[in-house]
Structure 1
């Protein structure tokens, strides 16, 4: 009887952690998801503490199981893009999502090793939070990075979002993990832990009362055109022509300070667009005094051949066209990493291989008659996942930035939680930078956000409509824009060094 019970006990640990990971991802979509994730993490730490006597291999496997449950639920929409839209083999698509989840989970599991080696330390919660921050940072950089589904963006519906303008999203992550550990410590030192939890939340709310940016000039009028075109029509020339005609017609219906169409709304390469189209739209910009921002496929001359780019073209009254080429490309979605071309050819996987834009591209200048121009930093698709890169671009810009604009096409991911996930990311970026944001999408969520990240107005998903709204530009820089992740990474590194010294001493 002892052997079956032992085996059952071990299997139940795997199932429980897999379920907790899935639950952690599911509650992120709820109105108070950022709050709910904290007690769930406390249960995870409790379960992992029970496994401390076990081998390092089993401990790593249990942490990996928790991460796999989390990322499989959070990233399942990638299957839609690969299989339903991209035409990849269903088994291969499923395996790809599983392997990506496994890779992402490795960072989670590595961070939890702090529990194994510092279980009895009074600063175990701080060390766990520090290691989690370091792992999240590395997840955003290694192999070009994929920091999607971090704990920070969920804090927009949680207690710690207001620290983001000062120390960024990683600071939110630090406080989430530390607070969840303090909840676990209530059994051992209830008074100290209660004081710690309430003081941390109170100080965060107090710190969030500061204002680091201020309104700049008069509000601008904006029109965001949501075409709602299926991605499966991208290889249909007649459908593409109808899509281009729709956007051109909608652009001309009403003038505005700024009119935006989504990422690759003109899905043909720039030189293959209908003859004279961009000149025609430039003339409309001149006569209507409207600034236009157009998503299309750009072309750039490489070392040996012409390469394509994911491009935004800006047309302003009586000025030269503006051009922004996407910098941070999606691995396997927009470029093929070195060493993987053989795999793509062997399995006939339909993937793009775009050229990368330069990092120091100027902001888009929105011209206004008899008023100061407004400068907007452009991001395309998942570039707004990388908060530190956006902060660096704003910090290094020779012209002040007053507005964030994200152009995206989430038709790749069907009716999934991907649009709401990216909306939360955009909200965190606005909060970190203190700047309002515009999201122009094909299928949704098209939205306008205030400088505090709160949604001002949106369009319903999967509808063909235009959002007409005014938005107030802001000027100035938050502490996070000035410092980036340096403070929170320095704190985390110092804590881990201190913890290592204490561990070796005792």
Structure 2
């Protein structure tokens, strides 16, 4: 196929893959996109051709999947020009990731027209997904397993995690790609058998891995819908605090009342004259207050979740966002990077995943981006009986990102067998069941109080015990084994 046609087609396939993520939720789109690109890569005969095809695919994938970076920087960072430059650079860098996965799989497959699409490319894809989840602080966005949260393949998640679901998607795509590469009756049977087998395994694993403990708790999630331009304005602090105090008093009597990430527009220590009386008032009504707040400890500043009391409890965010919550190389770059980062200065990372106690139960806490890391959320288990995620997705603007973020939070509930309370500043706040289903959700970009009940759970899913290590080992050793057993020869026989 002429490059003039093949490269735009590869980019279009990458964009189609992104349609599998929320809010579109086209679960078949990643299968179709990967089947097309796997078949194309399998029949490519040069490294240069694989690199070009893979990078074009990555550009379409990243461009359609994380275009919202522009809104974050243009609206709340350095303006439209900075937004365009930063988005172009980040999309260009992200595109290297699928390119590397496709090159690795192509090389390990050794031009074998069954082994390459069915085994080498799926294993390499998942191996690279796992590596990018921790390399250079980690990039977990757009892992393809999230696209199957509402399909039978989701039943794999409590056992194998999101990367197990990713592998199932990639292997199904590989079966179709094997038929596209060499059509025939046997390949048709294979293309049909692989998804049937994957779904059958998922259905066989469909069970309750955890059990309820005690009675459900009443909860109210306060979604203040505070605009970022207003949030850190010193003249607005009193009004913002007053809004949250009023919303809280409306729901006194609910067992849990939750504020979103950094809902407090000042450091926690600067608001104790309001918070301490409110906490006493809440306790007298049978309520526990849980709120997102910046916290100062000496020279260190933390993005935290607090449970006011005597003494107060704090969870400090452990996985910070570079250039959002701290700026690497700030000392070297001087004032060049001052337009990024938090208005309060660089945050420090917390160290403990220990749950917070509220309403007599243990809450496993994650803040914003942390909910995209399955193994880190599982660090709070087995002690945590509920999961709590607080976030401020106002940075994303009116884009697909708030929906994508919610989709990843749903996967964490499914992986751990825990219900999740998700409190966000501008939406989408939600109560998520232990199988990843949305039990209730609030609006987007509206002030709202989401009230309902949550059920504490106990027990450990296999994923909570094993984390990502089984899938990482399978992907890495599997890819390496294929390479050692003949992929390096690149025989070109096209079996």
Whether these two folds match at TM > 0.5 is: yes
In the TM superposition, what whole-angstrom CA distance separates every residue of 1:234-283 from its partner, at most 9, and x where no partner exists?
2422322211101011111222110001111112122333x611211221
- Cross-structure match for 1:95: 85
- Offset at 1:31? 5.6
Q: For residues 290-339 of structure 1, give each alpha carbon's deviation from its aligned partner in whole angstroms, at most 9, with x where no partner exists.
A: 111111111122xxxx23211111135xx5211011110011000112x3
**Aligned pair 1:466/2:449, yes or no?**
yes
Q: 2:35 aligns with which of 12, 34, 42?
A: 42
1:365: which partner in 2?
A: 357
Gaps of 5+ in 1: 1-5, 368-372
For 1:401 and 1:378, locate their aligned partners in 2 and report how far apart those are by CA, in whole Å. 9
Contact preservation (8 Å) 2:20, 2:147: no
Structure 2 distance, partners of 1:196, 1:336, is 46
Q: Tell me the residue number matched to 1:259.
A: 257
Which residue number corresponds to residue 321 of structure 1? 312
Shift of 1:197: 2.5
Please say if residues 285 and 292 of structure 1, whose CA atoms lie closer than 8 Å, have aligned partners that are also in contact.
Answer: yes
SS of 1:100's equivalent in the other structure is helix
The equivalent position to 1:439 in structure 2, one of 422, 435, 444, is 422
Give the Cα–Cα distance (whole angstroms) in 2 for the partners of residues 442 and 347 of structure 1: 26
Conserved 8 A contact 1:35-1:157: no
Match of 2:402 among 408, 419, 422: 419
Equivalence map 1:222-261=2 (5 Å): 222-254=219-251, 255-261=253-259
Instruction: From 133, 140, 146, give the equivalent of 1:147.
Output: 140
Partner of 2:341: 351
Q: Does the CA contact (< 8 Å) of 2:367 and 2:391 recur in 1?
A: yes
The 1:92–1:406 alpha-carbon spacing in structure 2 relative to 1, beyond 3 Å, is same
Q: 1:463 deviation in Å?
A: 1.4
How far apart are the structure 2 equivalents of 1:402 and 1:428?
A: 17
Determine the C-alpha separation between the residues in 2 that align with 1:430 and 1:277: 33
Q: Which of 383, 403, 407 is equivalent to 2:386?
A: 403
Question: What are the equivalent positions in structure 2 for 1:178-193 lying under 5 Å apart?
Answer: 178-186=171-179, 187-188=183-184, 189-193=187-191
* CA deviation after TM superposition for structure 1 residue 493, in Å: 2.5
Match of residue 490 from structure 1: 473
Distance in 2 (alpha carbons) for counterparts of 1:206 and 1:347: 52
Q: Do 2:262 and 2:304's aligned partners in 1 also have CA atoms closer than 8 Å?
A: yes
Asked if 2 retains the 8 angstrom alpha-carbon contact of 1:328 and 1:356, the reply is no
Q: CA RMSD in A?
A: 1.9
Q: Which runs of 4+ in 1 moved over 6 A?
A: none
Q: Counterparts in 2 of 1:284-323, with a 5 A limit?
A: 284-301=281-298, 306-315=299-308, 319-323=310-314
1:72 paired residue among 58, 63, 72: 63
Residue 23 (str. 1) matches residue 16 (str. 2): yes
Q: TM-score, with normalisation over the residues of structure 1?
A: 0.90
Q: Does 1:170 align with 2:163?
A: yes
The residue correspondences of 1:189-200 to structure 2 (distance < 5 A) are: 189-200=187-198
Partner of 2:371: 384
**CA displacement at 1:146 relative to structure 2:** 1.4
1:342 Cα shift?
Answer: 3.7
The answer (yes or no) to whether the contact 1:311–1:324 under 8 Å persists in 2 is: yes
State the shift of 1:143 in Å.
1.1
Instruction: Give the CA deviation at 1:28.
Output: 2.4
Q: Residues 402 and 117 from structure 1, CA distance in 2 versus in 1: closer, same or farther, beyond 3 angstroms?
A: closer
